[in-house]
Chain A
Amino acid sequence: MVAVVNQNVINQCVVSQLGIGFRPELARFIESRDDIAFVEIIAEDYSHLECIPQALRDLQERGVTIIPHCLSLSLGGADSIDLGRVKHLNSLARYFDSPFVSDHVAFVRAGNLESGHLLPVKRSEATLQIIAENITTVKEHLSVPLVLENIATTFQWPDNEMGEVEFVSRVLEDSDCGLLLDLSNLFASSHNLGFDALEYLRALPLQRLKYVHMAGGIFKDKLYHDSHGHPLNHQSIALLTALKALCPVARVMLERDDNFPADGELTCELGAIANA
C-alpha cells in the first residue's frame, strides 16, 4: 500500500495535468475521460453566456478547470483594442472561475480588413511598444492574468530587428505575462523560417510557462501548416520531451479542430503527450 501511495506521489510530480480543447464534437469523448484536468474553450465560440452548452457546465461541476482562449484581441495590431472583446473574455473567465485567460502575440485586423487568422507582427522596438500598450489596456479590463501564446507562421516581415525568441521573451517580460507555449506552432515556425526549435526553447523565460498546446498539422509545398486537423507529429512530442527536461510543465493539452478522429486515436495522442 505504501509503495502504491509513493508511486502516486511520484506520478503527480512527473505527470502534467492533461487537457484538451473543448469542441462540441469532442464533448462525449471528454466526458468519458476522468484524466482530463482542464479544457480550453474558444472565447469567440460563446458570444453570450446563454450559449454555453450543458456539457461545459457539467465539466465545471466535475472540477475540470476551464480556460477561455481568445483569437481576436489582435494584441500586435496597431489599431486600437476592441474593449467589447476584452470584456467578453473577462465575463467568461468570471463565469468559469478560470485561473487565467489567453491570446496570441499576433495581429488579425488592420484598417477594415479582418484576416480570420493569426498573423505575425514585425519584430521591432516600435511593435514591442504597441504590444505593451495594448496589453496594459487589456489588463485594465481583466480580473485574471493574461497568458500569451507564440503563433505558427509561414512567412515573416522584412527588416525584423530581432529574432522570434527574443521578441516573444521581450513581450512576456515587458508585459509581465505568463507563457502559453504552443510546441506545434514552434515546430511549424522553426521549420518554415529555418531556426532551431531547441535553441528557442532554451532561450525562453520558462519560469513564465503556464501551459502547453500540442496539435497536428500537415506538410504542403515544403511548408508545415498547423492545421489542427491532422494527427500529432513526432517532432512536437520530441519538443515536449525536451521541454520537460528543461522545466516543470504544469499543464499540457491537445487541440483538434477538424477531421475529428475515432476515440482510439485521440486516446493514443493524449497518451503520447502524458508519457513524453
Chain B
Amino acid sequence: MPEDARKQIAQEQKLLLQALLAHGNTPDGFDNKRLKQAAQALVRKRVRSMKRANALVTELLDSDLSKLAVLHRFIELHPSANAAGPYADTCDFLAFLQEESGLIHKIANINRSVRFIIGQCKLSLLTKALFWF
C-alpha cells in the first residue's frame, strides 16, 4: 500500500484516539454521544485492567476510596495507557501516588512551619504588649 495512504489512516486513527482518551474534538462524522460513552468505558476498562494486574492497586482502592479519585486524576493526566501493559500502568500510578503523597506531606510540613512562625510572632507581640503595660 502507498505510504501516503497508510499515513492518512494513521492520522485518522490518531484523531479518534485523541477524542476518546484526551478530550480531543470529535472527528467529522462520528456520533459524539457514542464516542463519549466509549471514552467512559475505556476509563472503566483501564481501571479494571489495572486492578486485575496488580493486587496492591486493588487493595489500595478497596481500603481507601479517596485513592480512586487519585487514580482518575492519574488517568486524566496520563491519557495513554502504558504500552507495556496494565502492570506497567499500575507501576506508573503507584509512582504518581507516592509523588502526590510526598507533595501532600511537604504541604503539611510547610503549613506546620507557617503556623509555628505565626505562633512565634503572636507570642513575641504578646510579650512586647505585656512589657509596655
Which residues of A approach B to under 8 Å, CB–CB?
Answer: 23, 44-45, 47, 72, 77-79, 107, 109-117, 119, 121-122, 126-127, 129-130, 133, 154-155, 157-159, 221, 223, 225, 227, 229, 257-258
Contacts and interface: CB of A to CB of B under 8 A. Distances in A.
Contacts of A159: 29
Nearest to B75: A116
A233 B9 CA distance: 36
A113 B53 CA distance: 20
What is the interface of chain B mostly: helix, strand, loop, or mixed?
helix
Contacts of B20: 115, 119
Contacts of A133: 1
B30 A113 contact: no
A155 B82 contact: no
B41 A225 contact: yes
A122 B1 contact: no
Contact of A111 (B14, B30, B46, B49): B14
B119 interface: no
Nearest to B83: A114
Contacts of B16: 110, 119, 157
B52 A127 contact: no
Interface of B: 1, 5-10, 12-14, 16-18, 20-22, 28-31, 34-35, 37-38, 41-42, 45-46, 48-49, 51-53, 79-87, 89
A47 B79 contact: no
Contacts of B38: 154-155
Given A122-B9, A126-B5, A155-B30, A47 B85 contact: yes
Given A154-B41, A159-B29, A116 B81 contact: yes
Contacts of B89: 116
A91 to B, nearest CB: 16
A116 B35 contact: no
Nearest to B87: A47
20 contacts: A44-B85, A45-B53, A47-B87, A111-B18, A113-B17, A113-B79, A115-B17, A115-B20, A116-B42, A116-B81, A117-B45, A117-B46, A117-B49, A119-B17, A121-B13, A122-B9, A221-B37, A223-B37, A225-B41, A258-B51
Which one of B7, B14, B38, B42 has the highest number of Cβ atoms from chain A below 10 Å of its Cβ?
B38
A113 B14 contact: yes
Given A78-B6, A113-B80, A155-B30, A107 B85 contact: no
B82 A114 contact: yes
Contacts of A122: 9, 12
Given A111-B17, A130-B1, A229-B48, A78 B9 contact: yes
A8 B22 CA distance: 56
B17 A130 contact: no
A155 B79 contact: no
B13 A110 contact: yes
Nearest to B51: A258
A5 B42 CA distance: 50
Contact of B9 (A109, A126, A158, A227): A126
Nearest to B48: A258
Which one of B16, B28, B89 has the highest number of Cβ atoms from chain A below 10 Å of its Cβ?
B16
Nearest to B5: A126
Contacts of A116: 42, 45-46, 49, 81, 86, 89
A107 B51 CA distance: 23
Nearest to A154: B38
